Amino acid sequence: MSKNINYRTKLNSETLPKHIAIIMDGNGRWAKKRLLPRTAGHRAGMKSLRKVVETCTELKIQVLTVYAFSTENWKRPEGEVSYLMELLVEYLNKEIKELHDNNVKIQIIGDIQVLNNSCKQEINRAILMTENNTGLIFNIALNYGSRTEIIYAIKQVAEQIQANLITIDDINEQMLSNTLYTSNIPDPDLLIRTAGEMRLSNFLLWQIAYSELWITEKLWPDFGEKDLIKAIVDYQKRDRRFGGIK
């Protein structure tokens, strides 16, 4: 950590992003380069996650959302899917105490009902244990897909109309935002994607309408504190106009 402290002095503590979202991509390519199985890449990626959560906690970032498993990732071989789920359980199991001690609040976005029982149990334990914490909101996107999320929100709105609880005129941006999984958190200010792909892969499509995008060629297992700080420093140089003019 100490060798990166200098790097941190480049940060302006007044204009830190409130919410950082990360598409953690490139584990498979990292493993392939080393002639290792893809699973080894996922395991190495877990270390990057640990470091990034730690740095966000230290910097007092309000929300970190990470894309851990997409609704499209079920297309992968069964062995890889189950490894990813087991890895998450292992991660939570190992890290939960430290996360809790650091006042981190764990949240999940995505449909976890379909996951196996041990996975659900570990997740629920982590959520319950940390629910009253007031530090970093660590939001894990698991079996998450933005389109599924939006459809789910629309269905909820339709049900409320059908039950005469609201009318069509009550539908607006704020109410739809409040109906998404992310209802309790601000939209991401900064979206980071590792491993160089220039796409969103069904991640937070509604919420990132005005996020600043930052894409690096670095593969997720090679991503560390220095890269995160670089992304934030670059973000702080951006001119966020939100459609207006200076």
Catalytic residue among 4, 12, 73, 222: 73
Q: Distance between CA 200 and CA 193 in Å, rounded?
A: 9
If you write DSSP's letter for every residue of 141-160 in order, what string do you get?
A: EEEE-HHHHHHHHHHHHHHH
- The DSSP H or E segment spanning 28 is helix 27-33
Which window, 63-71, 148-156, 158-166, 169-177, contacts ligand IPE (CB under 6 A)?
63-71
Q: Distance between CA 216 and CA 197 in Å, rounded?
A: 9
- Whether the Cβ atoms of residue 160 and residue 178 lie closer than 8 Å to each other: no
130 in contact with ligand IPE (CB under 6 A): no
> Is the Cβ of residue 203 or residue 235 nearer to ligand IPE in the bound state?
203
The interface partner of residue 197, options being ligand IPE, Mg ion, none and the CB cut-off 5 to 8 Å by kind, is ligand IPE
Pick from 49, 56, 59, 84 the residue near ligand IPE by CB under 6 A. 84
**206 annotated binding-site participant:** no
If you write DSSP's letter for every residue of 103-132 in order, what string do you get?
A: T-EEEEES--TTS-HHHHHHHHHHHHHHTT
Pick from 28, 110, 145, 188 the residue near ligand IPE by CB under 6 A. 28
| Interface map 18-37 toward Mg ion (x if CB under 5 A) | -------x------------
The nearest distance, CB 25 to Mg ion, in angstroms, is 4
**Which residue type does 60 have?**
K
201 in contact with ligand IPE (CB under 6 A): yes
123 alpha carbon, distance to own chain's centre = 15
The label of the residue with tokens 């933005």 reads: 146
Which window, 19-27, 158-166, 172-180, 222-230, contacts ligand IPE (CB under 6 A)?
19-27
Using alpha carbons, select from 195, 190, 196 the residue that is nearest to residue 208: 190
**Which residue type does 196 have?**
G
What would the two tokens of residue 111 be? 């449909």
The interface partner of residue 229, options being Mg ion, ligand IPE, none and the CB cut-off 5 to 8 Å by kind, is none
The nearest distance, CB 134 to ligand IPE, in angstroms, is 28
119 in contact with ligand IPE (CB under 6 A): no
Binding-site residue numbers for Mg(2+) are 25, 212
